[in-house]
Amino acid sequence: MDKLLTALAKGQNHFINMIRMAIFIVMVWIGGLKAYQYEADGIVPFVANSPFMSFFYANANKTIINKEGIPVKAYTLHKNPEGKMNEKNIAWHKLNHTYVFSLGLGSIIVLIGFLTLLGIWFPKIGLWGGLLTFGMSIVTLSFLITTPEAYVPNLGGDIPTPHYGFPFLSGAGRLVLKDIIMLSAGLIIASDAAKKIQSS
């Protein structure tokens, strides 16, 4: 047991670099996917409801009447499930600037990933990678407050729906909640970079 504890204690610097590499993989992979239609469509509910991002969309605050005669946000009638192509919906998203915004966002996310990875060799660059990872995570976690789709909806059925709304996270909400880990990781690598800068 003592050998294990010693190895873990001595390996801290390597483990922090593993965090950098993990953030790099996540950022580059997910950021890169933002160039594709299905991923751009998937983030629409988050962006359209965000006070920090909705202004990037042309129709974020536009409401229309659905089949039940209820006013709803326009994007809710133009969703493309992953793996399904709908020409009419895609045309709507092009006018909404969905794909242009997603490409720009993806480029920023990929850049953060590279800044984070470069922190292994260049602490000043890595400091920015850590701080930007932290900041991006705060924005992402805000979706838990602003996005209705982050929670299980009450869609009814043969029997009453027992679990819906807060705190019952949907698949999208569970994905967002994981950014608490990214937030913490960003602070760890920023702190490590700051120590290296001060000691140089």
Burial class (CB in 10 A: 0-12, 13-18, 19+), 76: middle
Query: Bridge-partner residues for 72, per DSSP?
Result: 64
Residue matched to tokens 């979706």? 143
Q: What is the mean pLDDT of residues 59-88?
A: 91
Nearest CA-CA partner of 153 in 144, 145, 143, 165: 165
Nearest CA-CA partner of 106 in 60, 164, 38: 38
Predicted pLDDT at 200:
83
Confidence of residue 68 (pLDDT cuts 50, 70, 90): confident
Confidence of residue 126 (pLDDT cuts 50, 70, 90): very high
Predicted pLDDT at 123:
97
Predicted pLDDT at 144:
97
d(CA 150, CA 174): 8
